[in-house]
Amino acid sequence: MGKNKLQRFAENLTFDNFFQPTYEDISNGYILKGKWASDFFKNNNPIVLELGCGKGEYSVGLAKRYPDKNFIGLDIKGARMWRGCKTAVDEHIHNIAFLRTRIELIEHYFAENEISEIWITFPDPQPRRIKENKRLTSPAFLKRYASILRKEGIIHLKTDAFLLYFYTMEIIKENNHQILISTDDLYHSGIEDDVIGIQTFYEQFFLAQGKKINYIKFQLNQSL
């Protein structure tokens, strides 16, 4: 492991906005489950998750725009998350936190109806059929999200991978979820809001390559 990674892992542990629970921390119920707003953010504002947040650009950008909402970036790559943690600390952004864990364990950290929105920004599309269940919009993952989202909760997907976009559209239709917005060419769609106002490192990279950005905004079928 490189020296910079080791330094970043060590510095992460000094940030008040960084959480890296152990197995013991969640085995008997995570202390912040159902209490993120009251015990960490100290308010009753809605909570927004970014799954696979990477360096945290999207979460940080949203937190700056919406001081009346709380944001949590979730990823397993601690060295990448260091950038978002440090930016939030340096710029005194208090409505954001970062949680280092696997997305498969999301139900251990958040309670029923605790989350208002979920952003999935440029995840691994898992193109091989055998990896389908690892796609972050697979029925297995959507079921996990349903267990923590509020009734009117929203899920956003941004991806350069048409395969994942098409797959997600099919999953939504097959399970009677509700599509609010969808486009396979975001920057020629006429949409003008947070979806285009904040760009991650990967999005800028894909745009520079001339790739089209796909976007879906949807709500889950409540019978899920």
Total residues belonging to the chain = 224
Helix 78-90, helix 3-12: angle, nearest 10: 50
| Residue 90 pLDDT | 96
Give domain status of residue 57, yes or no: yes
39 is known as an active-site residue: no
Distance CA 164, CA 148 (A): 23
Active site residue: 25, 124, 184, 193, which one? 124
Task: Report the Cα–Cα distance between both ends of the chain, in Å, rounded.
Answer: 42
CB 54 within 8 A of CB 77: yes
If pLDDT is split at 50, 70 and 90, which confidence band does 1 have?
A: low
- Could you report the per-residue pLDDT of 57-77, keeping only the tens digit for each? 999 999 999 999 999 999 999
Find the angle CA(28)-CA(140)-CA(220) to the nearest 5 degrees.
100
Rg (the chain; Cα; Å): 17
Looking at per-residue pLDDT, the higher value among 104 and 203 belongs to 104
pLDDT of 28 reads 87
Percentage above 70 pLDDT, the chain: 98
In a domain, 186, yes or no: yes
Q: Is residue 29 part of a domain?
A: no
Is residue 101 in some structural domain?
yes
- The answer to whether position 203 is within a domain reads yes
Q: CATH no. for residue 80? A: 3.40.50.150
SS3 category, 35: coil
- Domain boundaries, position 95: 3-13+45-219
Q: Is residue 157 part of a domain?
A: yes
If one counts the domains in the chain, the total is 1
For residue 182, the cross-strand partners are 216
